[in-house]
Structure 1
Protein backbone atom coordinates (compact mmCIF):
# COMPACT_ATOMS: atom_id res chain seq x y z
CA UNK A 1 0.00 0.00 0.00
CA UNK A 2 2.83 2.43 0.88
CA UNK A 3 4.60 1.64 -2.40
CA UNK A 4 1.36 2.35 -4.29
CA UNK A 5 0.94 5.67 -2.49
CA UNK A 6 4.56 6.68 -3.03
CA UNK A 7 4.35 5.81 -6.71
CA UNK A 8 1.14 7.75 -7.09
CA UNK A 9 2.61 10.82 -5.42
CA UNK A 10 5.61 10.68 -7.74
CA UNK A 11 3.29 10.44 -10.72
CA UNK A 12 1.31 13.37 -9.32
CA UNK A 13 4.41 15.52 -9.21
CA UNK A 14 5.20 14.68 -12.82
CA UNK A 15 1.64 15.35 -13.96
CA UNK A 16 1.54 18.67 -12.09
CA UNK A 17 4.66 19.77 -13.90
CA UNK A 18 3.25 18.86 -17.28
CA UNK A 19 -0.07 20.55 -16.53
CA UNK A 20 1.53 23.79 -15.37
CA UNK A 21 3.67 23.80 -18.49
CA UNK A 22 0.58 23.41 -20.67
CA UNK A 23 -1.51 26.00 -18.83
CA UNK A 24 -4.63 24.97 -20.71
CA UNK A 25 -8.27 25.20 -19.67
CA UNK A 26 -10.59 22.32 -20.41
CA UNK A 27 -12.35 22.53 -23.80
CA UNK A 28 -15.26 20.55 -22.31
CA UNK A 29 -16.99 22.67 -19.64
CA UNK A 30 -19.27 20.57 -17.41
CA UNK A 31 -23.04 20.85 -17.24
CA UNK A 32 -23.80 20.71 -20.96
CA UNK A 33 -25.73 17.45 -20.50
CA UNK A 34 -28.62 19.13 -18.64
CA UNK A 35 -30.08 21.11 -21.58
CA UNK A 36 -29.76 18.00 -23.77
CA UNK A 37 -31.77 16.03 -21.20
CA UNK A 38 -34.32 18.82 -20.92
CA UNK A 39 -33.77 19.46 -17.21
CA UNK A 40 -32.81 22.44 -15.08
CA UNK A 41 -31.08 22.50 -11.69
CA UNK A 42 -33.39 22.65 -8.68
CA UNK A 43 -32.68 22.86 -4.97
CA UNK A 44 -34.46 21.92 -1.76
CA UNK A 45 -33.44 22.54 1.84
CA UNK A 46 -33.43 19.22 3.68
CA UNK A 47 -32.47 19.34 7.36
CA UNK A 48 -30.23 22.32 6.75
CA UNK A 49 -28.57 20.88 3.65
CA UNK A 50 -29.10 22.35 0.20
CA UNK A 51 -29.86 19.36 -2.02
CA UNK A 52 -29.42 19.62 -5.77
CA UNK A 53 -31.81 17.62 -7.95
CA UNK A 54 -33.59 17.54 -11.29
CA UNK A 55 -37.20 16.57 -11.91
CA UNK A 56 -38.95 15.72 -15.15
CA UNK A 57 -42.13 13.98 -16.30
CA UNK A 58 -45.44 12.87 -14.79
CA UNK A 59 -46.56 9.51 -13.46
CA UNK A 60 -45.38 7.15 -10.72
CA UNK A 61 -42.36 8.56 -8.90
CA UNK A 62 -38.96 7.16 -9.84
CA UNK A 63 -36.01 8.26 -7.67
CA UNK A 64 -32.52 7.86 -9.15
CA UNK A 65 -29.56 7.65 -6.74
CA UNK A 66 -25.97 7.79 -8.00
CA UNK A 67 -22.78 6.15 -6.78
CA UNK A 68 -19.66 7.21 -4.88
CA UNK A 69 -17.88 10.16 -6.49
CA UNK A 70 -20.67 10.50 -9.05
CA UNK A 71 -23.67 12.82 -9.49
CA UNK A 72 -27.00 13.08 -11.26
CA UNK A 73 -25.00 13.29 -14.50
CA UNK A 74 -24.79 9.48 -14.46
CA UNK A 75 -28.54 9.34 -15.27
CA UNK A 76 -28.41 11.85 -18.15
CA UNK A 77 -29.02 9.28 -20.88
CA UNK A 78 -32.02 7.62 -19.21
CA UNK A 79 -33.94 10.58 -17.75
CA UNK A 80 -35.65 11.77 -20.98
CA UNK A 81 -37.06 8.33 -21.87
CA UNK A 82 -38.10 7.44 -18.32
CA UNK A 83 -39.80 10.82 -17.89
CA UNK A 84 -42.28 10.02 -20.65
CA UNK A 85 -44.24 7.84 -18.21
CA UNK A 86 -42.77 8.63 -14.78
CA UNK A 87 -42.17 11.49 -12.39
CA UNK A 88 -38.37 11.19 -12.45
CA UNK A 89 -36.26 12.73 -9.69
CA UNK A 90 -32.47 12.42 -9.77
CA UNK A 91 -30.74 13.84 -6.71
CA UNK A 92 -27.14 14.55 -5.77
CA UNK A 93 -26.39 12.89 -2.45
CA UNK A 94 -24.82 15.14 0.24
CA UNK A 95 -21.20 15.89 -0.54
CA UNK A 96 -21.56 15.11 -4.24
CA UNK A 97 -22.55 16.95 -7.40
CA UNK A 98 -24.21 20.24 -6.53
CA UNK A 99 -25.48 19.31 -3.06
CA UNK A 100 -23.99 20.75 0.12
CA UNK A 101 -21.05 19.08 1.80
CA UNK A 102 -22.01 18.50 5.47
CA UNK A 103 -19.55 19.44 8.22
CA UNK A 104 -19.71 15.86 9.44
CA UNK A 105 -20.50 13.18 6.90
CA UNK A 106 -21.78 9.85 8.20
CA UNK A 107 -23.52 7.08 6.29
CA UNK A 108 -26.75 7.78 8.20
CA UNK A 109 -27.00 11.18 6.47
CA UNK A 110 -27.84 9.63 3.11
CA UNK A 111 -31.05 7.68 3.79
CA UNK A 112 -32.31 10.54 5.97
CA UNK A 113 -31.64 13.08 3.22
CA UNK A 114 -33.44 11.04 0.55
CA UNK A 115 -36.41 10.53 2.85
CA UNK A 116 -36.46 14.25 3.65
CA UNK A 117 -36.33 15.15 -0.04
CA UNK A 118 -39.32 12.90 -0.74
CA UNK A 119 -41.20 14.71 2.01
CA UNK A 120 -40.28 18.13 0.63
CA UNK A 121 -41.38 17.11 -2.87
CA UNK A 122 -44.66 15.64 -1.65
CA UNK A 123 -43.82 12.11 -2.80
CA UNK A 124 -45.39 9.54 -0.49
CA UNK A 125 -44.15 6.40 -2.28
CA UNK A 126 -41.60 5.85 -5.01
CA UNK A 127 -39.58 3.28 -6.84
CA UNK A 128 -35.95 3.68 -5.79
CA UNK A 129 -33.23 3.06 -8.36
CA UNK A 130 -29.73 2.99 -6.93
CA UNK A 131 -26.35 2.44 -8.54
CA UNK A 132 -23.35 1.51 -6.39
CA UNK A 133 -23.48 3.70 -3.25
CA UNK A 134 -26.99 4.79 -4.26
CA UNK A 135 -28.05 1.16 -4.17
CA UNK A 136 -26.87 0.82 -0.57
CA UNK A 137 -28.91 3.90 0.36
CA UNK A 138 -31.96 2.48 -1.43
CA UNK A 139 -31.64 -0.86 0.39
CA UNK A 140 -31.61 0.89 3.77
CA UNK A 141 -34.77 2.82 2.88
CA UNK A 142 -36.54 -0.26 1.52
CA UNK A 143 -35.73 -2.24 4.67
CA UNK A 144 -36.50 0.47 7.22
CA UNK A 145 -39.26 2.42 5.44
CA UNK A 146 -41.09 -0.08 3.20
CA UNK A 147 -44.22 2.07 3.32
CA UNK A 148 -42.34 4.70 1.25
CA UNK A 149 -40.82 2.31 -1.29
CA UNK A 150 -43.04 0.90 -4.04
CA UNK A 151 -40.28 -1.05 -5.77
CA UNK A 152 -36.50 -1.34 -5.56
CA UNK A 153 -33.97 -1.49 -8.39
CA UNK A 154 -30.33 -2.25 -7.57
CA UNK A 155 -27.83 -1.54 -10.34
CA UNK A 156 -24.36 -2.91 -9.51
CA UNK A 157 -25.15 -1.99 -5.93
CA UNK A 158 -22.84 -1.62 -2.98
CA UNK A 159 -23.83 -3.58 0.10
CA UNK A 160 -21.56 -6.57 0.37
CA UNK A 161 -18.36 -4.66 -0.38
CA UNK A 162 -18.54 -1.82 2.13
CA UNK A 163 -15.62 -2.98 4.27
CA UNK A 164 -12.65 -0.80 3.22
CA UNK A 165 -10.52 -3.90 2.57
CA UNK A 166 -13.04 -5.12 -0.05
CA UNK A 167 -12.98 -1.95 -2.11
CA UNK A 168 -11.02 -1.39 -5.33
CA UNK A 169 -7.41 -0.26 -4.95
CA UNK A 170 -8.23 3.11 -6.55
CA UNK A 171 -10.72 3.86 -3.75
CA UNK A 172 -8.39 2.64 -1.03
CA UNK A 173 -5.66 4.89 -2.35
CA UNK A 174 -7.99 7.90 -2.25
CA UNK A 175 -8.76 7.08 1.38
CA UNK A 176 -5.09 7.04 2.40
CA UNK A 177 -3.49 10.09 4.04
CA UNK A 178 -0.60 10.62 1.56
CA UNK A 179 -2.84 10.49 -1.49
CA UNK A 180 -5.50 12.59 0.24
CA UNK A 181 -3.10 15.52 0.35
CA UNK A 182 -2.29 15.14 -3.34
CA UNK A 183 -5.97 15.22 -4.28
CA UNK A 184 -6.08 18.95 -3.71
CA UNK A 185 -4.09 19.31 -6.94
CA UNK A 186 -6.25 19.33 -10.07
CA UNK A 187 -3.87 17.21 -12.17
CA UNK A 188 -3.84 14.28 -9.76
CA UNK A 189 -7.64 14.47 -9.41
CA UNK A 190 -7.93 14.38 -13.17
CA UNK A 191 -5.57 11.40 -13.42
CA UNK A 192 -7.41 9.47 -10.70
CA UNK A 193 -10.86 10.20 -12.14
CA UNK A 194 -9.75 9.13 -15.61
CA UNK A 195 -8.14 5.96 -14.25
CA UNK A 196 -11.21 5.11 -12.18
CA UNK A 197 -13.60 5.65 -15.10
CA UNK A 198 -11.55 3.38 -17.33
CA UNK A 199 -11.98 0.68 -14.71
CA UNK A 200 -15.69 1.40 -14.29
CA UNK A 201 -16.55 1.00 -17.98
CA UNK A 202 -16.25 -2.25 -19.88
CA UNK A 203 -15.32 -0.23 -22.97
CA UNK A 204 -12.69 2.39 -22.00
CA UNK A 205 -13.37 4.23 -25.26
CA UNK A 206 -16.54 5.52 -23.58
CA UNK A 207 -14.40 7.57 -21.20
CA UNK A 208 -14.53 10.76 -23.25
CA UNK A 209 -13.00 14.11 -22.24
CA UNK A 210 -16.53 15.44 -21.65
CA UNK A 211 -17.32 12.56 -19.29
CA UNK A 212 -14.09 13.11 -17.34
CA UNK A 213 -14.97 16.79 -16.88
CA UNK A 214 -18.48 15.97 -15.65
CA UNK A 215 -17.06 13.68 -12.97
CA UNK A 216 -14.15 15.97 -12.17
CA UNK A 217 -15.94 19.31 -11.75
CA UNK A 218 -17.89 18.54 -8.53
CA UNK A 219 -14.71 17.30 -6.83
CA UNK A 220 -13.20 20.78 -7.14
CA UNK A 221 -15.65 22.16 -4.56
CA UNK A 222 -14.30 22.77 -1.04
CA UNK A 223 -14.75 19.65 1.06
CA UNK A 224 -15.84 17.44 -1.84
CA UNK A 225 -12.81 15.16 -1.78
CA UNK A 226 -13.17 14.99 2.01
CA UNK A 227 -16.68 13.60 1.50
CA UNK A 228 -15.33 10.84 -0.74
CA UNK A 229 -12.56 9.97 1.72
CA UNK A 230 -14.99 9.98 4.64
CA UNK A 231 -17.21 7.40 2.97
CA UNK A 232 -14.29 5.28 1.83
CA UNK A 233 -13.04 5.05 5.41
CA UNK A 234 -16.49 4.69 7.01
CA UNK A 235 -16.70 1.26 8.64
CA UNK A 236 -20.37 1.42 9.61
CA UNK A 237 -21.39 0.12 6.18
CA UNK A 238 -24.95 1.53 6.41
CA UNK A 239 -25.85 -1.50 8.52
CA UNK A 240 -25.31 -3.68 5.45
CA UNK A 241 -25.34 -6.46 4.49
CA UNK A 242 -27.50 -7.40 7.51
CA UNK A 243 -30.41 -5.21 6.35
CA UNK A 244 -30.58 -6.79 2.89
CA UNK A 245 -32.57 -9.79 4.13
CA UNK A 246 -35.19 -7.43 5.60
CA UNK A 247 -36.19 -6.09 2.17
CA UNK A 248 -39.68 -7.25 1.20
CA UNK A 249 -40.61 -4.90 -1.65
CA UNK A 250 -40.49 -6.14 -5.27
CA UNK A 251 -36.84 -5.96 -6.30
CA UNK A 252 -34.97 -5.97 -9.62
CA UNK A 253 -31.22 -6.58 -9.56
CA UNK A 254 -29.26 -5.47 -12.64
CA UNK A 255 -25.54 -6.14 -13.01
CA UNK A 256 -22.82 -5.67 -15.59
CA UNK A 257 -21.06 -8.98 -16.00
CA UNK A 258 -17.73 -7.20 -16.37
CA UNK A 259 -18.02 -4.98 -13.29
CA UNK A 260 -14.50 -4.69 -11.86
CA UNK A 261 -15.58 -2.68 -8.81
CA UNK A 262 -18.45 -4.74 -7.42
CA UNK A 263 -18.24 -8.43 -8.43
CA UNK A 264 -21.10 -10.30 -10.05
CA UNK A 265 -21.07 -12.62 -7.03
CA UNK A 266 -22.62 -9.76 -5.04
CA UNK A 267 -25.62 -9.80 -7.39
CA UNK A 268 -26.10 -13.45 -6.46
CA UNK A 269 -25.92 -12.54 -2.77
CA UNK A 270 -28.58 -9.84 -3.16
CA UNK A 271 -30.80 -12.22 -5.13
CA UNK A 272 -30.46 -14.96 -2.51
CA UNK A 273 -31.21 -12.57 0.37
CA UNK A 274 -34.23 -10.71 -1.09
CA UNK A 275 -37.28 -12.98 -1.49
CA UNK A 276 -38.83 -12.96 -4.95
CA UNK A 277 -36.18 -10.71 -6.48
CA UNK A 278 -35.28 -10.92 -10.15
CA UNK A 279 -31.69 -10.74 -11.43
CA UNK A 280 -30.62 -9.55 -14.89
CA UNK A 281 -27.00 -9.70 -16.06
CA UNK A 282 -25.86 -7.44 -18.91
CA UNK A 283 -23.07 -8.81 -21.09
CA UNK A 284 -20.02 -6.70 -21.97
CA UNK A 285 -21.00 -4.11 -19.39
CA UNK A 286 -19.21 -2.64 -16.40
CA UNK A 287 -20.18 -0.84 -13.19
CA UNK A 288 -22.48 1.87 -14.59
CA UNK A 289 -24.98 0.25 -16.98
CA UNK A 290 -27.09 3.42 -17.01
CA UNK A 291 -24.22 5.10 -18.86
CA UNK A 292 -22.93 2.13 -20.83
CA UNK A 293 -26.26 0.52 -21.77
CA UNK A 294 -28.92 3.22 -21.23
CA UNK A 295 -31.51 1.82 -23.66
CA UNK A 296 -31.48 -1.55 -21.91
CA UNK A 297 -31.78 0.07 -18.49
CA UNK A 298 -34.77 2.12 -19.67
CA UNK A 299 -36.42 -1.02 -21.06
CA UNK A 300 -35.83 -2.99 -17.85
CA UNK A 301 -37.14 -0.19 -15.63
CA UNK A 302 -40.26 0.39 -17.73
CA UNK A 303 -40.97 -3.33 -17.78
CA UNK A 304 -40.47 -3.67 -14.03
CA UNK A 305 -42.27 -0.46 -13.05
CA UNK A 306 -44.79 0.50 -15.75
CA UNK A 307 -45.61 4.19 -15.86
CA UNK A 308 -48.88 5.96 -16.44
Structure 2
Protein backbone atom coordinates (compact mmCIF):
# COMPACT_ATOMS: atom_id res chain seq x y z
CA UNK A 1 0.00 0.00 0.00
CA UNK A 2 1.40 3.40 -1.01
CA UNK A 3 1.06 6.52 1.08
CA UNK A 4 2.13 10.14 0.69
CA UNK A 5 4.13 11.92 3.39
CA UNK A 6 5.71 15.35 3.89
CA UNK A 7 2.77 17.36 2.59
CA UNK A 8 2.24 14.92 -0.25
CA UNK A 9 5.78 15.20 -1.63
CA UNK A 10 7.18 11.77 -0.63
CA UNK A 11 5.63 8.58 -1.98
CA UNK A 12 6.22 5.45 0.10
CA UNK A 13 5.15 1.85 0.31
CA UNK A 14 3.97 0.61 3.70
CA UNK A 15 3.42 -2.86 5.09
CA UNK A 16 3.21 -4.64 8.43
CA UNK A 17 2.46 -3.53 11.97
CA UNK A 18 4.67 -2.43 14.85
CA UNK A 19 7.42 0.16 15.36
CA UNK A 20 8.22 2.28 12.31
CA UNK A 21 11.17 1.11 10.21
CA UNK A 22 12.15 3.25 7.23
CA UNK A 23 14.27 1.91 4.35
CA UNK A 24 16.10 4.47 2.15
CA UNK A 25 17.28 3.19 -1.26
CA UNK A 26 20.54 3.85 -3.10
CA UNK A 27 21.23 6.29 -5.93
CA UNK A 28 21.71 3.62 -8.58
CA UNK A 29 18.61 1.68 -7.58
CA UNK A 30 15.04 2.20 -6.37
CA UNK A 31 12.82 1.10 -3.51
CA UNK A 32 12.37 -2.34 -5.10
CA UNK A 33 15.92 -3.12 -3.95
CA UNK A 34 14.33 -3.87 -0.55
CA UNK A 35 11.67 -6.25 -1.87
CA UNK A 36 13.58 -9.35 -0.77
CA UNK A 37 13.71 -8.31 2.90
CA UNK A 38 10.47 -6.34 3.36
CA UNK A 39 8.18 -9.38 3.90
CA UNK A 40 10.29 -10.66 6.80
CA UNK A 41 10.75 -7.22 8.38
CA UNK A 42 7.00 -6.58 8.08
CA UNK A 43 6.35 -9.41 10.51
CA UNK A 44 7.80 -7.28 13.33
CA UNK A 45 7.73 -3.69 12.06
CA UNK A 46 5.63 -1.23 10.15
CA UNK A 47 8.00 -1.01 7.21
CA UNK A 48 7.92 2.23 5.23
CA UNK A 49 9.93 2.29 1.99
CA UNK A 50 9.95 5.79 0.51
CA UNK A 51 11.08 6.87 -2.91
CA UNK A 52 13.68 9.51 -2.17
CA UNK A 53 13.03 13.04 -3.48
CA UNK A 54 13.14 13.09 -7.28
CA UNK A 55 12.69 9.32 -7.59
CA UNK A 56 9.49 7.60 -8.64
CA UNK A 57 6.45 9.41 -7.30
CA UNK A 58 8.38 11.68 -4.90
CA UNK A 59 8.92 15.32 -5.82
CA UNK A 60 12.43 16.66 -6.23
CA UNK A 61 13.76 19.17 -3.71
CA UNK A 62 16.34 21.95 -3.86
CA UNK A 63 19.21 22.45 -1.45
CA UNK A 64 21.51 19.51 -2.14
CA UNK A 65 21.80 16.62 0.27
CA UNK A 66 20.73 18.82 3.17
CA UNK A 67 17.50 19.62 1.36
CA UNK A 68 16.88 15.93 0.69
CA UNK A 69 17.61 15.12 4.34
CA UNK A 70 15.21 17.79 5.58
CA UNK A 71 12.44 16.55 3.28
CA UNK A 72 12.96 12.99 4.51
CA UNK A 73 12.93 14.18 8.12
CA UNK A 74 9.42 15.49 7.43
CA UNK A 75 8.43 12.13 6.00
CA UNK A 76 9.90 10.18 8.92
CA UNK A 77 8.25 12.41 11.51
CA UNK A 78 4.90 12.09 9.81
CA UNK A 79 5.24 8.40 9.05
CA UNK A 80 6.25 7.53 12.61
CA UNK A 81 3.24 9.43 13.94
CA UNK A 82 5.17 10.81 16.85
CA UNK A 83 6.52 7.40 17.85
CA UNK A 84 9.99 5.92 17.68
CA UNK A 85 11.55 5.32 14.28
CA UNK A 86 14.46 3.25 13.03
CA UNK A 87 16.05 4.31 9.74
CA UNK A 88 18.05 2.02 7.45
CA UNK A 89 19.81 3.55 4.48
CA UNK A 90 21.72 1.83 1.67
CA UNK A 91 24.30 3.73 -0.37
CA UNK A 92 22.93 7.19 -1.21
CA UNK A 93 20.07 6.42 1.16
CA UNK A 94 22.65 5.90 3.90
CA UNK A 95 24.19 9.31 3.24
CA UNK A 96 20.72 10.85 3.36
CA UNK A 97 19.96 9.06 6.64
CA UNK A 98 23.27 10.18 8.17
CA UNK A 99 22.78 13.79 7.10
CA UNK A 100 19.23 13.64 8.43
CA UNK A 101 20.40 12.35 11.82
CA UNK A 102 22.98 15.14 12.04
CA UNK A 103 20.50 17.87 11.17
CA UNK A 104 17.60 16.36 13.15
CA UNK A 105 19.12 14.61 16.19
CA UNK A 106 15.84 13.29 17.59
CA UNK A 107 14.54 11.90 14.32
CA UNK A 108 15.47 8.25 14.91
CA UNK A 109 16.23 5.94 17.81
CA UNK A 110 18.63 3.78 15.78
CA UNK A 111 20.36 3.93 12.41
CA UNK A 112 21.57 1.18 10.09
CA UNK A 113 23.95 2.56 7.47
CA UNK A 114 24.72 0.01 4.78
CA UNK A 115 27.49 0.69 2.28
CA UNK A 116 27.99 4.41 2.71
CA UNK A 117 30.40 6.61 4.66
CA UNK A 118 31.08 10.17 5.75
CA UNK A 119 33.27 11.27 2.83
CA UNK A 120 34.72 9.87 -0.39
CA UNK A 121 38.36 9.69 -1.39
CA UNK A 122 39.43 11.89 -4.28
CA UNK A 123 39.14 8.85 -6.55
CA UNK A 124 35.57 8.31 -5.36
CA UNK A 125 34.71 11.97 -5.84
CA UNK A 126 36.05 11.89 -9.38
CA UNK A 127 33.95 8.82 -10.18
CA UNK A 128 30.80 10.82 -9.39
CA UNK A 129 32.00 13.76 -11.48
CA UNK A 130 32.70 11.40 -14.37
CA UNK A 131 29.26 9.76 -14.16
CA UNK A 132 27.53 13.14 -14.05
CA UNK A 133 29.51 14.41 -17.04
CA UNK A 134 28.97 11.25 -19.10
CA UNK A 135 25.25 11.21 -18.37
CA UNK A 136 24.97 14.87 -19.35
CA UNK A 137 26.77 14.22 -22.63
CA UNK A 138 25.27 10.87 -23.63
CA UNK A 139 22.39 10.04 -21.27
CA UNK A 140 22.03 7.41 -18.56
CA UNK A 141 22.30 4.59 -21.08
CA UNK A 142 25.97 5.48 -21.55
CA UNK A 143 26.81 4.80 -17.90
CA UNK A 144 24.47 1.89 -17.18
CA UNK A 145 27.27 -0.70 -17.33
CA UNK A 146 29.38 1.41 -14.97
CA UNK A 147 26.43 1.85 -12.61
CA UNK A 148 25.74 -1.89 -12.49
CA UNK A 149 29.41 -2.65 -11.77
CA UNK A 150 29.22 -0.28 -8.82
CA UNK A 151 26.23 -2.25 -7.50
CA UNK A 152 27.16 -5.86 -8.27
CA UNK A 153 30.29 -7.88 -8.93
CA UNK A 154 30.57 -9.24 -12.52
CA UNK A 155 30.13 -12.84 -11.36
CA UNK A 156 26.86 -11.98 -9.60
CA UNK A 157 25.61 -10.20 -12.72
CA UNK A 158 26.31 -13.26 -14.86
CA UNK A 159 24.54 -15.55 -12.38
CA UNK A 160 21.39 -13.40 -12.12
CA UNK A 161 20.47 -12.12 -15.60
CA UNK A 162 16.77 -11.56 -14.81
CA UNK A 163 17.53 -9.55 -11.69
CA UNK A 164 20.11 -7.49 -13.57
CA UNK A 165 17.63 -6.76 -16.35
CA UNK A 166 15.26 -5.32 -13.76
CA UNK A 167 18.01 -3.32 -12.09
CA UNK A 168 19.06 -1.80 -15.41
CA UNK A 169 15.48 -0.86 -16.24
CA UNK A 170 15.07 0.75 -12.82
CA UNK A 171 18.25 2.77 -13.21
CA UNK A 172 17.23 4.04 -16.64
CA UNK A 173 14.01 5.44 -15.16
CA UNK A 174 16.00 7.76 -12.89
CA UNK A 175 15.46 11.49 -13.47
CA UNK A 176 18.76 12.51 -15.04
CA UNK A 177 18.81 15.95 -13.39
CA UNK A 178 18.20 14.41 -9.97
CA UNK A 179 20.96 11.90 -10.64
CA UNK A 180 23.44 14.59 -11.66
CA UNK A 181 22.58 16.73 -8.64
CA UNK A 182 23.12 13.77 -6.33
CA UNK A 183 26.45 12.97 -7.98
CA UNK A 184 27.52 16.58 -7.45
CA UNK A 185 26.48 16.52 -3.80
CA UNK A 186 28.30 13.25 -3.07
CA UNK A 187 31.44 14.50 -4.86
CA UNK A 188 31.65 17.40 -2.40
CA UNK A 189 30.34 15.70 0.74
CA UNK A 190 32.34 15.58 3.97
CA UNK A 191 30.32 14.81 7.10
CA UNK A 192 33.29 13.72 9.21
CA UNK A 193 33.40 16.88 11.37
CA UNK A 194 29.74 16.40 12.31
CA UNK A 195 29.68 12.69 13.16
CA UNK A 196 29.95 13.37 16.91
CA UNK A 197 26.48 14.91 16.76
CA UNK A 198 24.91 11.50 16.11
CA UNK A 199 24.15 10.18 19.59
CA UNK A 200 21.93 7.19 18.73
CA UNK A 201 23.25 3.64 18.25
CA UNK A 202 24.38 2.96 14.69
CA UNK A 203 25.04 -0.33 12.92
CA UNK A 204 27.45 0.21 10.02
CA UNK A 205 27.44 -2.50 7.36
CA UNK A 206 29.51 -2.94 4.23
CA UNK A 207 29.89 -5.63 1.61
CA UNK A 208 33.47 -6.87 1.47
CA UNK A 209 33.49 -6.45 -2.33
CA UNK A 210 31.80 -3.03 -2.45
CA UNK A 211 33.59 -0.91 -5.06
CA UNK A 212 31.21 2.06 -4.91
CA UNK A 213 31.73 2.75 -1.19
CA UNK A 214 34.71 0.55 -0.27
CA UNK A 215 35.08 -0.94 3.24
CA UNK A 216 37.62 1.69 4.41
CA UNK A 217 34.82 4.27 4.20
CA UNK A 218 32.71 2.23 6.61
CA UNK A 219 35.66 1.73 8.96
CA UNK A 220 36.18 5.49 9.04
CA UNK A 221 32.46 6.12 9.54
CA UNK A 222 32.13 3.68 12.44
CA UNK A 223 35.26 5.06 14.10
CA UNK A 224 33.94 8.62 13.91
CA UNK A 225 30.50 7.90 15.40
CA UNK A 226 30.07 7.97 19.19
CA UNK A 227 28.07 4.72 19.38
CA UNK A 228 28.63 2.47 16.38
CA UNK A 229 29.47 -1.10 15.55
CA UNK A 230 30.79 -2.32 12.20
CA UNK A 231 30.00 -5.56 10.41
CA UNK A 232 31.49 -6.76 7.14
CA UNK A 233 29.21 -8.81 4.89
CA UNK A 234 31.23 -11.54 3.18
CA UNK A 235 30.66 -12.11 -0.51
CA UNK A 236 28.54 -8.96 -0.91
CA UNK A 237 28.94 -5.76 -2.88
CA UNK A 238 27.01 -2.46 -2.71
CA UNK A 239 23.43 -3.76 -2.36
CA UNK A 240 23.73 -6.63 0.14
CA UNK A 241 20.02 -6.76 1.00
CA UNK A 242 19.32 -7.71 -2.59
CA UNK A 243 22.38 -9.88 -3.17
CA UNK A 244 22.20 -11.90 0.07
CA UNK A 245 18.90 -11.11 1.80
CA UNK A 246 19.09 -13.90 4.38
CA UNK A 247 22.59 -12.87 5.45
CA UNK A 248 21.52 -9.23 5.58
CA UNK A 249 18.50 -10.01 7.76
CA UNK A 250 20.56 -12.19 10.08
CA UNK A 251 23.16 -9.43 10.44
CA UNK A 252 20.69 -6.69 11.38
CA UNK A 253 18.31 -8.84 13.46
CA UNK A 254 19.83 -8.47 16.92
CA UNK A 255 20.42 -4.74 16.45
CA UNK A 256 16.82 -4.13 15.40
CA UNK A 257 15.33 -5.93 18.37
CA UNK A 258 17.80 -4.89 21.09
Please give the range of the TM-score, normalised by the shorter of the 2 chains: 0.7 to 0.9
What is the match of residue 139 of structure 1?
Answer: 98
**1:256 to 2:207 alignment:** yes
What is the match of residue 240 of structure 1?
Answer: 191
Which of 56, 66, 70 is 1:108 aligned to?
Answer: 66
Return the offset for 1:240: 1.3
TM-score by length of structure 1 reads: 0.74
Deviations, residues 157-192 of structure 1 (Å, cap 9, x unaligned):
14211x7752363x433311x641310xxxxx3452
Give unpaired runs (5+ residues) of structure 2: none
Aligned-residue RMSD, C-alpha:
2.5
Which of 248, 251, 254 is 1:303 aligned to?
Answer: 254
* Contact 2:86/2:110, CA 8 A, preserved across alignment: yes
Give unpaired runs (5+ residues) of structure 1: 1-39, 184-188
Return the offset for 1:53: 0.9
**Partner SS, residue 262 of structure 1:** coil
What is the match of residue 57 of structure 2?
Answer: 98
**1:51 to 2:10 alignment:** yes
**Partner SS, residue 84 of structure 1:** coil
Quote the Cα distance in structure 2 between the aligned partners of 1:60 and 1:180.
42
Q: How does 1:210-289 map to 2 (within 5 A)?
A: 210-217=163-170, 219-220=172-173, 224-234=175-185, 237=188, 240-289=191-240
Return the offset for 1:237: 4.7
Deviations, residues 196-222 of structure 1 (Å, cap 9, x unaligned):
21332132235534443345346446x
What is the match of residue 60 of structure 1?
Answer: 19
Quote the Cα distance in structure 1 between the aligned partners of 2:144 and 2:160.
10
Task: Mark the structure with the bigger radius of gyration.
Answer: 1
Return the offset for 1:288: 0.9
Return the offset for 1:245: 2.4
Quote the Cα distance in structure 2 between the aligned partners of 1:89 and 1:206.
30
Q: Tell me the number of residue pairs that the alignment of Structure 1 and Structure 2 aligns.
A: 255
Quote the Cα distance in structure 2 between the aligned partners of 1:257 and 1:90.
25
